[in-house]
């Protein structure tokens, strides 16, 4: 899969966001959770990757199936900045 730099940047941003589930990344970029992990490993410095993995491992908000049923969106309404 060939990605533009802006798409790569957006995937990294979405992967770091606490409230953006892996399913949202898959829906938008067709990358499964294991593919996102592989992508992040190849794009981040080793220490940054370790910090990211520690942060997202076991985090309920990163998996739609573990989220509260009250959450009906994949991102915070204020997440996207107006330009």
Residues 5-41 have pLDDT tens digits of: 889 999 999 999 988 899 999 999 999 999 999 999 9
Cα 19 from Cα 6, distance rounded (Å): 20
Residue 44 has pLDDT above 70, yes or no: yes
> What is the DSSP secondary structure assignment for residue 69, as one 8-state letter?
T
Domain ranges of the chain: 5-65
Measured N-to-C along each axis, helices 46-56 and 5-16 cross at an angle, to the nearest 10 degrees, of 50
Answering whether pTM is above 0.85, one says no
Total Cβ atoms within 10 A of residue 14: 21
pLDDT of res. 3: 82
Once rounded to an integer, what is the mean pLDDT over residues 63-76?
A: 62
């Amino acid at each position: 899969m060939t990605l533009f730099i802006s798409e790569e940047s957006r995937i990294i941003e979405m992967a770091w966001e606490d409230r953006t589930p892996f399913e949202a990344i898959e829906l938008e970029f067709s990358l499964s959770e294991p593919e996102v992990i592989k992508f992040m490993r190849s794009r981040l410095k080793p220490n940054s990757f370790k910090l990211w993995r520690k942060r997202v491992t076991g985090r309920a908000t990163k998996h739609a199936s573990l989220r509260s049923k009250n959450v009906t969106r994949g991102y915070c309404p204020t997440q996207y900045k107006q330009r």
